[in-house]
């Protein structure tokens, strides 16, 4: 049985490759409608499923709710207010996701006495953000990175870095 003991120091040498860009969702109206209610205009951070807008569809009169499809930040919000009408195909919101995925390519074949499990956070001096382990496969670790500022991704080094389990 393999167990994870958080007090054991785990040090890995490898190269981080970001495989996905930051995802941005463009939310367009799919029909003509009139705004019934809109989310708080001060909110910029949203979670997947958070309410953004409800409108009455012109063709059916049916009430339709629009929710965020990503965890992230609203980077564009239309100026529509209660009672405003909009056309089909009008851009209503842009939401920039806060997560990217990458591969940590290890230098050596590590034989793990203690296997790092999904959810474990890895840190490196070179990065201002932790990497969350999703899956481990011999020389490759799939990681998720929560991005609060996309500028931090510009400093990804192409060289080998030392990674350790983050301290709480």
Say what the pTM is.
Answer: 0.67
**62, 111 Cβ separation under 8 angstroms:** no
The CATH number given to whatever domain includes residue 79 is 2.40.50.100
- H helical segments located in the chain: none
Same domain, 74 and 135: no
**Which residue shows structure tokens 């998720």?**
144
Query: In a 10 Å sphere around its CB, with 0-12 CB exposed, 13-18 middle and 19+ buried, how is residue 87 labelled?
Result: exposed
SS3 153: helix
pLDDT at position 41 is 61
At residue 41, φ and ψ (nearest 5 deg) are: -70, -15
Which residue range forms the structural domain that includes residue 59? 24-97
pLDDT at position 9 is 52
Same domain, 82 and 128: no
Same domain, 106 and 137: yes
pLDDT at position 65 is 96
Show pLDDT as tens, one digit a residue, over the chain (168 residues): 444 444 445 678 888 888 777 788 999 999 999 999 998 766 688 999 999 999 999 999 999 999 999 888 899 999 999 999 999 999 999 998 888 888 888 886 655 545 567 788 888 888 888 888 888 887 788 888 887 666 666 666 678 888 888 876
| Sequence-separated (6 or more) residues with CB below 8 Å from residue 46 | 52, 68, 70, 71, 72, 73, 74, 95
């Amino acid at each position: 049985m393999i167990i994870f003991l958080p007090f054991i120091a785990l040090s890995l040498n490898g190269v981080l490759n970001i495989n996905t860009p930051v995802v941005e969702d463009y939310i367009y109206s799919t029909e003509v409608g009139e705004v019934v209610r809109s989310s708080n205009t001060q909110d910029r951070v949203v979670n997947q499923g958070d309410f953004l807008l409800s409108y009455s569809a012109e063709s059916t009169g049916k009430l339709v709710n629009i929710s965020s499809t990503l965890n992230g930040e609203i980077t564009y919000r239309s100026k529509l207010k209660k009672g405003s009408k909009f056309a089909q195909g009008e851009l209503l919101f842009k939401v920039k996701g806060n997560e990217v995925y990458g591969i940590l390519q290890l230098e050596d074949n590590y034989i793990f006495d203690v296997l790092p499990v999904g959810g474990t956070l890895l840190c490196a001096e070179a990065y201002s953000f932790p990497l969350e382990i999703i899956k481990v496969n011999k020389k490759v670790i799939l990681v998720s990175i929560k991005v609060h500022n996309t500028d931090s991704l510009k400093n990804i080094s192409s060289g080998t870095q030392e990674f350790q389990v983050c301290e709480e």
